[in-house]
Structure 1
Amino acid sequence: MARHLVIQPAFLGDAVLALPLIGRLKTLFPSAEVHALVRTDVAPLLEGHPWISRLWTWDKTWRGWLTLLHQLRPHHWEGVWVVQRFFRSGLLGRLLPASLYVTYDKNPLSWLYTRRAPHRIGDGTHEVDRVLALAAAAGLTPERPPLPWLFPPETARQKVARWIERQPYLILAPTSRWPTKEAPFRLWEAFLHNVPPSYTIYLTGLPSDRPRLEPLARAHPAAHNLGGALTLPELAALVQSATRVYTVDSALTHIASALGRPTTTVFCSTVPAFGFGPLAPHSTLVETPRPLSCRPCGLHGKTACPLGHFACGHSLPLQDLIAPLLTEAPPPAAHTAADPPPPT
């Protein structure tokens, strides 16, 4: 049986944005197995995914790398698709026996690969289309599969059923591992004061975020602090039925996109032109209206504003956060894991 291997061991959002390539391969080669290699901490979100025949995990250590090499080499791969620009992923992919090797031109080992796709950031190309450019480099049509791309298991939906029942609800995830990606919390407090009380609000984040979310939970009569309370599948199940997701330039934007849920993403020190904005219908962007010469200050966020003023965060317009709620249409029915649509 033909097998393809998609290697994307970056962070959670990056793995989610590689799903369209997996779906495309499954569509074009329905009888083939499509395997995926992801970070160990990302795997729970993708376990049981109907497009993925087998999930391989990497803890990002060299010991783990060698273990994977010994596990993967006995297979012959029809195609090895390295969705990264980094040496270790490129080396792992090229050492596997395969008929086709595909990666980005910026991978330091791309010269050893059969096909190479251009990797450009900053010109407005979305990351999903950068990923699908790998398919185009191999002579395949780079079409996005229809949404959704994620299918939370029914067990996860059952775990969060008591929260899903409180319709309509919004999810607010205001934190990031990069502080300059976070909007000032006073903006979120002002936003929550303006959300009609008919909405339930679920605040989500890591366990370490929970104390920071407490003041926001007090800013709305129907807000609940779920920081650290959800597994990745449970978070996806909650997102699947949300009226709208509010977040920053982070993985939750991409999880919501993959589930087809309307999203409002706030950009502070980074910009949508990098290609990491929301993709679901009725999604919106919020960013400063000021033409700041210092923005963006880097591809990723920073621990603090390099100039000390954080104008990109302090000048965010509150009305742009509120606007979607004034014209919100009822969300379409969410798909369940029991009946996922095909990736065609």
Structure 2
Amino acid sequence: MTEEPGREHLCRGGDGTPLRGLVWECAKPEGLVVVRTPYDAGRHEATARSWNARGYHCLVQDVRGRYRSEGDWCPFSYEEEDGGQVLVHLLDEFAGLPLVLFGASYAAHTALEAARAVTGNGASPVSAIIALVPALGPAETAWDPQGRPQIRHRIGWWHEHGRHRRSQPPLPPSELDRRVAQARERGVVEAAEHWDWSPSTMTGWRRLWSARRVDPASRYGRIDVPLLVISGDDDFFDDDARRLARAWSAPSHFAGGPWGHGLVGGVADRSLRSRIAAAGGLTRIIDPWLAAQGLPGAPAEWTGILAAASAPHTRSTLDSASGAWRHERTSP
């Protein structure tokens, strides 16, 4: 039996800009998952179908200025406004379905910003948020927790993903090395002035290095929605993910283990991957957590810790040696 392709989907930003994506639908939906990404909605089919298998329609939308969506691409600039407009549209189009915001890295940022946009004095229309290896904001991508500039990461990402509607081939290692050396010698902004980047790209590049770090408590403190944060011990955003989970005012659950920004799929050690798989991987966290929120998922015994009103912050840790999850309540 041939699976149906993702259906073209359109809604508009507040200024009328067409924001397009693909929606994968299931026969008997019990929920709707929304992913807003700069990395091409069409490349997220496997993710969307995994949500279909859980009983959710899944919309994957290209953010403003990327792939199918029109407008100007300016990283971290429009996700609150556009995300809020998208959710208002979807709440009408898919009325009655609980809405889950999901995303990894930049898409985790878009999920948080969309939830922030629709948070008012009443109950949030969002049922749950799942943020994997979240890139909270531009400053978090530019500087590590000790305040050291992440020059190589940022030059590579900006060249590949930050300049055009579609991602470009990565810089050859020798050219990346050359640009990193120039940035260290001349300064990250001054060096980039000689890389033939467009004026709009340079505007975003300057903004990146002058941005302030996000304070999760003040930025997201009004969002009264359960949050699942998934990070990795070797991820460069791990400290930020932990800050987010600790500062969340509604119940939050943090899950981490022996992987980096690529999550379990990026683990090269075969023995370790086998132990992670034997423990159920991240599915062993996501599905029971969803069920504990009253959403389509798969219940598990460990989720009893999520119900303790006196402990709004909880966590799960996968031990690399034993290959077993440990679940516990934590202090704020």
- The two structures have a TM-score, normalised by structure 2, of 0.31
Structure with the higher fraction of residues in helix conformation: 2
Where relative contact order (Cα < 8 A, 6+ residues apart) is larger, the structure is 1
- The two structures have a TM-score, normalised by structure 1, of 0.30
